[in-house]
Structure formats: C-alpha cells, structure tokens
C-alpha cells in the first residue's frame, strides 16, 4: 500500500442529506447509465476500483484527518476543527480539495461517510466487505456508512451476502426507485421492474439496513401522471422503507428525455399539476411508517414532509394551501422558491420586500413576454441546479 498519499478520489454527486459526510469513491460512474431522465455519468465509462486502490484512498483520508488534527493543535485549537482551522485550510495555498473536504467533514462532526458512485453493491461481496471492514478500522468513530445502489443489482444479491455487507459496516442504501409503474419504467429505460423494486427493498430491510427510496414526481409527464403516482405509492406500501425522498423531474437539453419533449411524445407537468400529482401520491401511501422528505431545491414544496402515518394530514394540508393561493401568489411563490428566496409558503407573508420585488418582476415579464416568458424564466431558474 502506498504511504503518505496527499489526496484521494471523489465522485461527482451525493445525496443532499450527505452533504456533510466524508465522501469516498468505491466505483466510477454507473454500470447501467441508460435512464432517459438522468443527466449524470453520460459519456463516462463505468469501472470497478480495486480493493487496494480503495484502501489506499481510505488511508489517505485517515492521514489527512490526522494532519488536520495536528494543524489544529499548532493553531491552538486543541485538535478541534473550528472556524480558525477551516479558515486556514480554505484560504492559504498548499491545501487541496480533499484536505478541505475532510476539514469540512470534521468541522460539522457528522461522523457519517457516503460511498460513491452510482452502484457500489455491484462489487463482489468479498471485496465490498473487505473495504467496509478497513474503513471501520481506520475510522472507528464513524457512526453511519451509506451508499447508492440499483434495485436490479440488489435483487441479484443473496440475502446472506447483504447481511455480510451490513455486518461489515454498511448502514444505509439509497435506491433510485423513481416510479413503480412498469410501462413508465420501460419507457425511461430504467432496467428494472416494479416487482424487482419490491424484492430489492425488502431484501435490504431483511438484511438489517436502512433504506432510502427516491421518487421522481413528474416522471410520468401529463400522459401517465396518475398511473405513476398510484403505482409508485403501491410499491412503497409493499416495501415500507425508512425514507421516501421526492426529487421532481427536470429535463435539461443534455438528457436523453429531452428528445421526447422536442418531438411531443412527452409533455412536462406544470408546477400546479405536480402539486396535484404529489397529493394523489401521498393520499395513496397507506399502512407504512416511512419518513417522507422533500429535501431538494428542485422540489416546489419543501414543507411536504414528515413521518407516516401521523404527518400525512399535515403534508396534504401544505399542498391544499398552495393550491388555494391566487394565480399571482402562486407565480410569486414559484419565483421565490426557484430563485432560492423562499423555502416555505409562510415566506410569502413574512418578507414583504421580497414579495413586492418578485411581484414586480412577474408583472414585468408578463407584460413583455406573456405567460410563456414567465414559465421559461421559472424553468431556467430551477434548471441551473441540475
């Protein structure tokens, strides 16, 4: 094993709730990489990293963490990574991105680690177990290790293998469910069936892991939105994951689905239509104890979240409140949310200055470019986050 590496490899993405986790790359890119809606990993070849490579990166992360602790003591911070240490690392030359990444992780004290890229359970079980055991040995204070995987990959793993992986130290798996409607899964080239989604989810739970399932409101377009909402809720009712995370569809020009927008075979849901779709979806979640989260800037209504079943009425009330706004206030809220000024519907009333600025902007756009111009402006605002 190479000693004293000063950096380690990191991938391009992680879930929003893993923003403060230590990021380590086990595989590169996505082994499937055919989903029409996905903007990530396109034109990039998937590859497995060797156990030795990964261990070298873990050791490098350990060495960097130790270096930062030593620096902290030299700066008089007694080993703590506080504002003084972070300022030193971020503002002076000689420290790379990985030093800053580890410093941020130590600063926030999450004790969490996220393993990149898209499907690490595709690794041989023995290899993944060896990596997890080494990670836990080098970072014994880590309290949570999580990763992405695909339902099709998990479904092909034996329950015994998954239990070994859990015992070695993997706590949570993030799965891109997207939809539970088979015709839509086929249309979007997801490479998996609803039955496989259920099987994979149940297997992970039976292995003792936490499970986070991602749902994509809007994926059915105006053509299949009802079937998408109801079938997806049905699949989740059969799984009962720990978390259901909403990630609303966006279709920038660089994703394959954009060609279907261009030829008219796929029609995007408007924000108001999405609100109705999410309402139908939540209404059909039944008999489960999942936590629903709308923790992404692409989602219009971040407040739609909570623990099932007790918070279901509250989530539906948020949607009804949005639907009850006047036309102008809905446009103002959408602009505020898409522009990063608003997080809740209450923000419409608690910040009069922003409200009136946004209202003037909307009125001016309507006068100059009409409704289509306003919608184009709002779409550009949200697409910049992709």
Does a structural domain hold residue 7?
A: no
- CA separation, residue 2 to residues 8, 59, 100, 229 (Å): 12, 9, 22, 51
**pLDDT confidence tier of residue 380, bands split at 50, 70 and 90:** confident
- 275, 294, 325 - which closes a domain: 325
Q: What is the pLDDT of residue 258?
A: 95
Asked if residue 336 and residue 194 are part of one domain, the reply reads no
* pLDDT score, position 1: 38
Residue 158 clears pLDDT 80, i.e. is over it: yes
Q: How far apart (Å, rounded) are the C-alpha atoms in residues 351 and 357?
A: 10
| CA 206 to each of CA 17, 163, 239: distance values in angstroms, whole numbers, following the listed order | 24, 8, 11
Q: Is the same domain home to 259 and 378? A: no
Q: Are 304 and 168 in the same domain? A: yes
Examine the domain organization and report whether 43 and 168 are in the same domain.
yes
Q: Is the pLDDT of residue 2 over 70?
A: no
Across the range 355-366, mean pLDDT stands at: 94
Res. 383: pLDDT tops 90 = no
Confidence check: pLDDT of 172 > 50? yes
Whole-number Å distance between alpha carbons of 33 and 12: 14
Quote the tokens at residue 349: 């009333």
Cβ proximity of 260 and 187 under 8 Å: no
Domain final residue pick, 282, 304, 325:
325
Evaluate the omega torsion of the peptide bond into residue 165 and state whether it is cis, within 30 degrees of 0.
Answer: no
Looking up tokens 């104890």 gives 289
Q: What is the CATH number of the domain that holds 163?
A: 3.20.20.70
Residue 2 lies in a domain: no
Express each pLDDT in 305-340 by its tens digit: 999 999 999 999 999 999 999 999 999 999 999 999
What is the pLDDT at residue 95?
84
Range of the domain at 38: 16-325
- Residue 116 backbone class (left: φ over 0; alpha: ψ -120 to 50; beta: rest): beta
Give the model confidence (pLDDT) of 122-142 as tens digits: 999 999 999 999 999 999 999
What is the CA angle 36-16-343, rounded to 5?
100
Instruction: Indicate whether 195 and 64 sit together in one domain.
Output: yes
For the cut 80, the answer to whether the pLDDT of residue 238 exceeds it is yes
Residue 4 pLDDT more than 60?
no
Determine the pLDDT at residue 189. Answer: 98
Query: How large is the angle between the packed helices 194-206 and 225-239, nearest 10 degrees?
Result: 30
**Residue 283, pLDDT above cutoff 90:** yes
Q: What is the pLDDT of residue 92?
A: 79
Count the Cβ atoms, other than its own, within 10 Å of residue 352: 9
Cα–chain center distance at 85: 29
**Which residue in the block uniquely carries the two structure tokens 């080239």?**
189
Quick one: average pLDDT of 64-77? 94
Q: Does some domain include residue 270?
A: yes
User: Is 1 contained in some domain?
Assistant: no
Q: Is the same domain home to 185 and 312?
A: yes
Q: Provide the pLDDT for residue 385.
A: 72
- Whole-angstrom Cα distance, residue 314 to residue 55? 46
User: Does residue 345 share a domain with residue 262?
Assistant: no
Please, are residues 158 and 126 in contact by the beta-carbon 8 Å criterion? no
Indicate whether 278 pLDDT > 90. Answer: yes
Of 303, 325, 347, the position where a domain reaches its end is 325
- Tell whether 180 and 57 lie within a shared domain: yes
Separation of alpha carbons 290 and 192, rounded Å: 23
- Tell me if 121 is assigned to some domain: yes
Interstrand relation of 47-48 and 144-149 (parallel, antiparallel or unpaired): unpaired
């Amino acid at each position: 094993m190479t000693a004293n590496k000063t950096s380690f490899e990191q991938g391009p993405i992680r879930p929003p709730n893993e923003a403060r986790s230590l990021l380590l790359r086990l595989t590169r890119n996505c082994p499937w990489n055919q989903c029409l809606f996905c903007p990530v990993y396109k034109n990039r070849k998937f590859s497995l990293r060797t156990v030795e490579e990964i261990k070298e990166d873990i050791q490098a992360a350990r060495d960097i963490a130790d270096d930062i602790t030593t620096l902290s003591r030299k700066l008089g911070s007694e080993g703590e990574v506080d504002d003084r240490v972070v300022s030193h690392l971020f503002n002076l030359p000689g420290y790379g991105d990985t030093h800053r990444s580890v410093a941020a992780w130590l600063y926030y004290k999450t004790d969490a680690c996220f393993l990149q890229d898209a499907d690490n359970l595709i690794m041989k079980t023995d290899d993944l177990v060896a990596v997890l055991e080494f990670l836990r040995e080098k970072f014994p204070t880590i309290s949570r290790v999580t990763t992405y995987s695909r339902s099709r990959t998990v479904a092909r793993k034996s329950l015994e293998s998954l239990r070994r992986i859990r015992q070695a130290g993997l706590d949570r798996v993030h799965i891109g469910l997207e939809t539970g409607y088979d015709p839509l899964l086929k249309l979007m080239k997801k490479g998996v069936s609803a039955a496989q989604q259920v099987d994979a989810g149940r297997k992970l739970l039976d292995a003792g892991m936490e499970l986070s399932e991602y749902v994509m409101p809007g994926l059915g377009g105006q053509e299949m939105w009802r079937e998408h909402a109801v079938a997806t809720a049905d699949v989740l009712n059969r799984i009962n994951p720990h978390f259901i995370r909403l990630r609303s569809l966006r279709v920038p020009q660089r994703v394959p689905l954009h060609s279907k927008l261009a030829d008219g075979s796929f029609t995007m849901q408007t924000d108001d239509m999405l609100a109705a779709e999410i309402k139908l979806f939540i209404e059909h979640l039944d008999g489960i104890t999942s936590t629903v989260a709308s923790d992404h800037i692409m989602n219009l209504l971040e407040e739609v979240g909570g623990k099932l079943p007790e918070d279901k009425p509250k989530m539906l009330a948020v949607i009804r409140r949005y639907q009850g706004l006047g036309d102008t206030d809905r446009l103002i809220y959408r602009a505020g949310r898409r522009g990063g000024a608003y997080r809740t519907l209450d923000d419409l009333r608690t910040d009069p200055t922003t409200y009136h600025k946004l209202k003037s902007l909307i009125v001016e756009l309507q006068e100059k470019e009409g409704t289509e111009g306003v919608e184009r402006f709002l779409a550009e605002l949200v697409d910049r986050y992709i």
